[in-house]
Each structure stands twice: as C-alpha cells, then as structure tokens.
Structure 1
C-alpha cells in the first residue's frame, strides 16, 4: 500500500509537471493569423501609430505615463497597462500587439549598459505577457500584414532600409535599400512614395518583389481608402503639400484640400478627412466632409499625431504634452484625453 501511494504521488507530480510544461510551450508558441489580416490603419501608422483599435479595445501610447503601452475599452474606460515599454507604430491583430520600442525617448530613461535594448521591434501578447524581440535594431514605421511584419530597419552601418520578418521572428529579409514607409498595404501590394531619386508613387508586389510606377508626381504619405471607390489620398509635394487623391492606376488626380498640410488622416468609411494646416498664417487642425466638401476648424494652433479609433479622433499638441479627442464627424466639441498612469 505504501509503495502504491508513492507511485501515485510520483505519477501525480509527473502529470502536473507535464501540464505546466505544455501550458508554457503553448503560451510561447506563435499563433499565426489569416494571410490578409492587418494590424492598424494606414492613416494611424503615418501619424506615429500611437492608437490602434482591435477587438473592442484601443491600444495606445499613454503620454501620461511616458508613452508606455496601455489599452482601454471603446468608451475610454477599463484602462490596463500592457507594458512598461514606450511604444510607437502599434499594430494589434490575432493574439499579439506589435510595436517599435522607443525607451530611449522616455523622459525618465537613464544611460545604462543595457541601452542597446532601448529600441527594437517587439511582440507581446494581448494580455501583456511574453514579450518577444523580433529584431534588436532600432525600427521605425512597421506594418503587420498577414504573418509578416514590414518595417523600417536601422543600423549605424547601413542607415534606414526596408525589411520584413515573420511574426515568429524568422525569415528576416531586406526588401529595399530605400527607407520606405510601409504604411499602405492592400491585397499583398504595398503603395509608397519614393525616398531617393524621386517621390513618385510606386507599388511593390510583396509576393514577388516586383515594383511598378503608379504616378510620376511628387507624392508623400499615400493612404488607400477602399470604402470610397478605392482612392489613394496623398500630400502633393509639388503643390505645396495640399491633399489630393487619385485612382489605383494613378489616373484622375483631383485636388481635395487646397491648404499646406503637415499631416492628415481619413476615417475608414472614407467620409471624413482630418488635417493640420501648417502655413504660418492660420495654423489649425480641421475636418472636411468628403461627401459634401464642407470643412470647419477644430482648434487653432499646431497639432500632430492625428489618430482615429473607437469612433473618436485623437491628436496631440505639437510638444506632445497634451492629448485631445473629438467624436468622428463635423463636431467641434474638444475634450482633453486624460488616461490614468497605472502602477
């Protein structure tokens, strides 16, 4: 009987140990996603990727807590601290959040022998567990599409280049010597403006790497809106950074907003354009109804980082000291966004 009890005890210990091991292995095993899933909108990524809506949560960089990664529900309640990292270019899809670690920009950061870990491309579970480095080099704008991360990769030797890596950290590959902003991807095609010999609008087939010229004009920050007849919006460098749009084939270029702008974003339904006028005369953030052409000022002054998430528009003052928000639409009711700083 005593021997049987010992055998049973050992058997129970083996089962418990095995269960713990399986749980741990499954928790760190990469969970793959649909081939055409994406992690954030083009407009949000162009504005720094500081807000990202996914599965009834908004993941964001909390300026009240030195830019660290938080989440909240769509009513801006139930705040959770996801990570102590200062996060930019946030993408959330499948089981993970992806972001560029920017801890060197923290006000409370201090020089350290571990300073090389202050930047990089990282992945973390939606619940804030199992942080994984996908690349330890400094990264810029990143865009998750399917099971790959397309991103700006930087080293002191090579400068800024365009890379991809699998969401499990495998298959890293340089795709271009240009520091392309990979913010607009649709149906395995990347739309981007050139950064070296010209600023034409190009498309890159991400399956085979082939590149085509879409429009021979000075473009910046292309945003594709499929909900509105597949228009590509962009800032026209040659037309004083006014906002224009064209078809996917580069035809029918049309002036949308005849103002010099420093940034812009568009609601996913293609209805509302938000923009920052930067002409040194009447700088302001404004909104235009793209169906009617009606526009109105939101606030006078200098603002940036315009994001759209949870049927709200978030933006920061130029010095990133105060965050504001308004409902999506023609509405001038501006509120200060004041999330808590959690331990």
Structure 2
C-alpha cells in the first residue's frame, strides 16, 4: 500500500508540475495571425477607435468610466469591464486586443507612479494580462497582419513619427520620420494622404518601406473598401467623394462639407460643416438619399454591426443610434468593478 501511495503522490506531483509548466508556457507564447489580418475598420480608427467589434464581441472605451476598456454583445447586452486601462485606438484579433493607453485619471494598475501611462499595449483576451509593446508616448495605431503600425512621440527630438512593432513586442523600428497617419491599413499595406508636398493618395509597403503614388485626388481621410476609395475631397469643398481605386472619376456623395465620417457598406455617416443645420447625417449610398440623424456638433463616429456611436464635440458624451434606424439616445453604460 505504501508503494502504491507513493506512486500516486508522484503522479499527482508530476501532474502539478506539468500543469504549472504548461500554464507558464501558454502565458509566454504569442499566437500569430494569418497574413492580411486587420484589427478594426478604417472608419472606426478615424473616430479614435473607441469601439471595435470582433468575433461577435464589441470592445469599447467606456465613456462613463474614464474610457476604461469594457466589452459587450453587439446589442449592448452583457456589459463587462475588461481592464483598468483607459484606452483608445482599439484593435483586436482572435487572441488579443491592442490599444494606445491614455493618461489614466486615478488609481489605475500603475497607480500614482504614472509609469507607461501612454504606451502601446497588448491585452490577452483569455487571461486579461497586459503586455507593453512600446513604452513611449504612442497615439494612433492599426493592426496589419502581425505588426502594429503607430505614431510614436520621440522625447529627445520632440517629433512624432511612424513606427511598427510585431505583436510579440519584437522588431520595433521606424517606418518614416514623418507623422504619416497609420489608420488606413488594408491587409498589410498602408494608404495615406501626403504630408509633405501634396495631399494625394500614397501607399507604403510596411516591410520594404517603399512608397508608391496611388491617386491624384486632393484628399483627406481615405477609406478603402474592396475596390472603392472614399475620401474628403479638398477640391470639392470638403465634401465626401467616392471613386474606383485607380480611377480619375469621382462621385460626390454628400450635400455638405464634412468634418468626419464613417461607412458601413450601405450607409455613410458624416458630421456636416456649414450644414443646414449642422449635425450627423446619414447617406444611403445606393439611392443617394440623405437624412439628418442628430443636430449639433459631433465627432468620433464609430460603427458596429448594430449601432452607430458618436460623441458630442463639446461635452464628450457618447450617443448611439441603430444602424438601420433613427432613434438617437445617450449611450450610458454602467460603471463596473474590476475583479482582482
């Protein structure tokens, strides 16, 4: 019996050790993506990436709780707090959520020490552990395959430049000394409006750093969806236009100039500039019909499969409206405690 008991104890001990080793292993490995994986829609990232839908879950910066990261179902049920970080520019893949950490306002996980409060981060969906990908002050970011493309502030030179880092935190490097907007990523190619000599459309290979000329339109905030290019046209009094990618012909989509916009395939939402009145408008891209959704000054337009979200420009309060409806109300999620 003593021998059997010792064997059982040895087997249990080995099981515990094996479990501990496996647990340590799965918490150190990185799950890489298929080529061409992107982490959020281009339009949402132009709206500061406050909402990000992936695998039937919406991750969002809770406006009632210092923009801390929460998650919910697309119909806004089952709201949960995910981490104590205040976030924006949310991106996600099957295993991780990526974001730029905002300046936290109270006792976050880094407390009064104020350490890495504006860094680029990766959060593990399974165990909610946070990994810092870049400790520097980071801003707009986008997932491109297994790389994050992002704006990074250089404390020594006091300049902002375009950088990239792998999702495991390795191979960080500068892509450009210029502050090129990283948000229009299609697969693993970056499209951007020129920042030096023109406002035409350019593309960048994020591996070779080669830059190519993509379109002669004088544009801002390009969004590429399949073979279509959407943009604020600086030659059409800032109205939003659509063109086939590579074409020289364009179609004006909006009645008024736009300050910001987003698209969901069927509709275009935009904040008018010099509208009658100013407000958030919705355009049916099939029929061209245009309707006022909410009067006022709004920004940070984000779209999920169920709702369009937008922020009051002055108060920062978030409002929402069904993507196929027009009932506008304040988005007022609860403040929840974070489990230890």
- Asked if TM exceeds 0.5, the reply is yes
Alignment of 1:188-267 (within 5 A): 188-226=188-226, 230-267=227-264
Partner of 2:89: 89
Tell me how many residue pairs correspond in the alignment: 335
Residues in 2 aligned to 1:44 and 1:107: alpha-carbon distance in whole angstroms: 27
Measure how far apart 1:29 and its partner are. Answer: 1.2
Unpaired segments of 5 or more residues in structure 1? none
- Kept in 1: contact 2:216–2:248 (CA 8 A): no
- Kept in 2: contact 1:57–1:72 (CA 8 A): yes
Alignment of 1:1-343 (within 5 A): 2=2, 5-6=5-6, 8-104=8-104, 106=105, 114-127=113-126, 129-158=128-157, 159-226=159-226, 230-267=227-264, 270-279=265-274, 282-329=277-324, 331-343=325-337
Measure how far apart 1:38 and its partner are. Answer: 1.1
Report the secondary structure of 2:83's partner residue: strand
Q: TM-score, normalised by structure 2?
A: 0.92
Residues in 1 aligned to 2:215 and 2:290: alpha-carbon distance in whole angstroms: 28
Report the secondary structure of 1:239's partner residue: coil
Measure how far apart 1:138 and its partner are. Answer: 1.3
Measure how far apart 1:215 and its partner are. Answer: 2.5
Residues in 2 aligned to 1:152 and 1:277: alpha-carbon distance in whole angstroms: 28
- Kept in 1: contact 2:54–2:94 (CA 8 A): no
Residues in 2 aligned to 1:39 and 1:151: alpha-carbon distance in whole angstroms: 13
| Greater Cα shift, 147-156 or 238-247 | 238-247
Report the secondary structure of 1:29's partner residue: coil
Q: TM-score, normalised by structure 1?
A: 0.91
Unpaired segments of 5 or more residues in structure 2? none
Residues in 2 aligned to 1:188 and 1:7: alpha-carbon distance in whole angstroms: 54
Superimposed CA distance per residue, residues 201-248 of structure 1 (whole angstroms, 9 cap, x where no aligned partner): 11112342221112234311100122xxx2111112343321112222
RMSD: 2.1
Measure how far apart 1:327 and its partner are. Answer: 1.4
Residues in 1 aligned to 2:74 and 2:255: alpha-carbon distance in whole angstroms: 34
- Kept in 2: contact 1:82–1:127 (CA 8 A): no
Residues in 2 aligned to 1:55 and 1:86: alpha-carbon distance in whole angstroms: 22
- Kept in 1: contact 2:201–2:213 (CA 8 A): yes
Residues in 2 aligned to 1:206 and 1:10: alpha-carbon distance in whole angstroms: 52
Residues in 2 aligned to 1:48 and 1:176: alpha-carbon distance in whole angstroms: 22
Measure how far apart 1:124 and its partner are. Answer: 0.6
